[in-house]
Structure 1
Amino acid sequence: MAEFIGDDLSGARFEGVNLAGARFRNVNFYRAVLRGAELFETEIDGDISGLRINGVEVAPLVEAELDRREPDRARMRPADPAGFRDAYDLLERLWDGTVARARRLDPALLHESVDGEWSFIETLRHLVFVTDSWVRRAILGEPAPWHRLALPWDTMPAYPGVPWDRAARPSLDEVLDLVRDRRAVVRTVLAGLTEAGLAADTTPAAGPGWPPSRAYPVRECLLTLLNEEWQHRLYAERDLDVLESR
């Protein structure tokens, strides 16, 4: 079985190629063109925009269906400070239910990967990284806010001072202490959020790190936080279905 890991195949031409059963992870299909494609029982997960299948733009149809399945999903796109506070309150309640579900499992299972994805503990560690990056660094201007257990996404470029310990095996309670601390930070930011503050840009944080040191719209930073929290809880629930069967 051929493997392509870290290869640059941009501009490549594939013709008469059999990709049945192939698996793609962290791949960039920007402006890719597929003609005569056979997409039978194919699963695509990711950031999808501008995708056209047989002349039909797919993303708006997918977004509408996802909102229909999960009516609360639309609340993750708030328009004002009160909406952001409401969305974060909802996320906390949803995550409380997911954590309660995880607690019923053998603690060892919370370190297990399902189908190559992050374990439950790693998912929570990643959300600590998200809050440290987009709230503490981007919005609050802390140059190096990351806890040693904060976990970046797997293909992030290395930045000085940003932790990246995939081998760590903290307990659920240890990670939840971090999560509660970060939630308190977010609640403080949201409590003081005004219309003017939401429409403003951040002041660039000093030094290297993630996100890179430049100004960002406060609204986009908070939307990133909401999206990450929403999506990763869905992934965690999906994987808990599998872990409960083991």
Structure 2
Amino acid sequence: MPEFEDENLSGSRFHRVDLSGAHFRDVNLYRVVMRGVELGDADISGDITGLTLNGVDVAPLVDAELDRRDPDRAQMRPADATGFRAAYDLLERRWDETVARARRLDPALLHESVDDEWSFVETLRHLVFVTDSWVRRAILGEPAPWHPLALPWDTMPEYPGVPWDRDARPSLDAVLDLVRDRRATVRTVLGGLTEESLAADTAAPDGPGWPPPRSFPVRECLLILLNEEYQHRLYAERDLAVLETR
């Protein structure tokens, strides 16, 4: 079967094309229009901010259902500084439960991928990268805050000084030490957060890296942190359920 990787197919037109059984990963589907589609037994997950099916905008319906299934999910959209602190406290408690679940497995399984997703240890390494990028670099202004074990997302462009070691196999405890250190930094930032500082913009960090050297709303940086922590814990729980059967 043909494979398309790092291809720009924007603006392409597909007529009478059989895509049954196709797999899409890390794809940009903004403003895609589909007509005469036969869709059944499909599984779609990702950042879906607008989706109209047969004339119905279903994205708000999906959001409402996800909030119903997990009432704590709404806390990941806090309105004020107190809400951000409460949301992060909740995430820490939930991650502690997930880590306790992971510890019951053979440590070797924590380096195994499920369906080509990150392993459990790689997931934690990615969250170190998120904190380094959006808190230490974007909010605190550190030009190159990344630990060598911090793991960017797979399709990130290369930036000088940003680590990208997919072959590293650190122990769970070694990575958890990093996670605890980053959490302490986040708690310090959130502890000093006021409504004024939450509404402010960051100063552009020096030098190349991620995020780009420009200003961002502080609120946006912290929302990205909450979303990454929340979503990747769900992914980790999903994959741990598979690993528990091995």
Question: Shorter-chain TM-score: which interval?
Answer: over 0.9
Aligned identity (percent) is 78
- Structure-2 residue corresponding to 1:83: 83
How many residue pairs get aligned? The number is 246
- Structure-1 residue corresponding to 2:114: 114
Q: Distance in 2 between matches of 1:133 and 1:157?
A: 14
- Structure-1 residue corresponding to 2:159: 159
1:56 matched to 2:61? The reply is: no
- Structure-2 residue corresponding to 1:46: 46
Q: Distance in 2 between matches of 1:91 and 1:50?
A: 27
* TM-score normalised by structure 2 residue count: 0.99
Q: Distance in 1 between matches of 2:191 and 2:32?
A: 44
Deviation at 1:90, TM superposition (A): 0.4
SS for the counterpart of 1:33 is coil
* TM-score normalised by structure 1 residue count: 0.99
- Structure-1 residue corresponding to 2:171: 171
- Structure-2 residue corresponding to 1:183: 183
- Structure-1 residue corresponding to 2:103: 103
Q: Give the partner amino acid of 2:54.
A: N
Deviation at 1:173, TM superposition (A): 0.2
Q: Distance in 1 between matches of 2:105 and 2:240?
A: 9
Deviation at 1:198, TM superposition (A): 0.3
Deviation at 1:167, TM superposition (A): 0.4
Deviation per residue, 1:159-204 (Å, 9 max, x gap)? 0000000000000000000000000000000000000000000001
1:221 matched to 2:221? The reply is: yes
Structure 1 window deviating more from structure 2 (48-57 vs 214-223): it is 48-57
Q: Distance in 1 between matches of 2:128 and 2:25?
A: 23
Where in structure 2 are there 5+ consecutive unaligned residues?
A: none
Q: Distance in 2 between matches of 1:126 and 1:50?
A: 27
Q: Distance in 1 between matches of 2:58 and 2:163?
A: 37
Deviation at 1:39, TM superposition (A): 1.1
Structure 1 window deviating more from structure 2 (107-116 vs 28-37): it is 28-37
Where in structure 1 are there 5+ consecutive unaligned residues?
A: none
SS for the counterpart of 1:225 is helix
Deviation at 1:13, TM superposition (A): 1.1
Q: Give the partner amino acid of 2:227.
A: N
Q: Distance in 2 between matches of 1:211 and 1:143?
A: 10
Q: Distance in 2 between matches of 1:166 and 1:116?
A: 13
SS for the counterpart of 1:23 is coil
Structure 1 window deviating more from structure 2 (166-175 vs 25-34): it is 25-34
Deviation per residue, 1:111-166 (Å, 9 max, x gap)? 00000100000000000000000000000000000000000000011100000000
Q: Distance in 1 between matches of 2:49 and 2:219?
A: 20
SS for the counterpart of 1:121 is helix
Q: How does 1:120-131 map to 2 (within 5 A)?
A: 120-131=120-131
1:237 matched to 2:243? The reply is: no
Deviation per residue, 1:1-34 (Å, 9 max, x gap)? 1101111111111111111110000111111111
- Structure-1 residue corresponding to 2:29: 29
- Structure-2 residue corresponding to 1:140: 140
- Structure-1 residue corresponding to 2:196: 196
Q: Distance in 1 between matches of 2:185 and 2:118?
A: 25
- Structure-2 residue corresponding to 1:211: 211
SS for the counterpart of 2:206 is coil
Deviation at 1:38, TM superposition (A): 1.0
Deviation at 1:227, TM superposition (A): 0.3
Q: Give the partner amino acid of 2:70.
A: E
Deviation at 1:82, TM superposition (A): 0.7
SS for the counterpart of 1:92 is helix
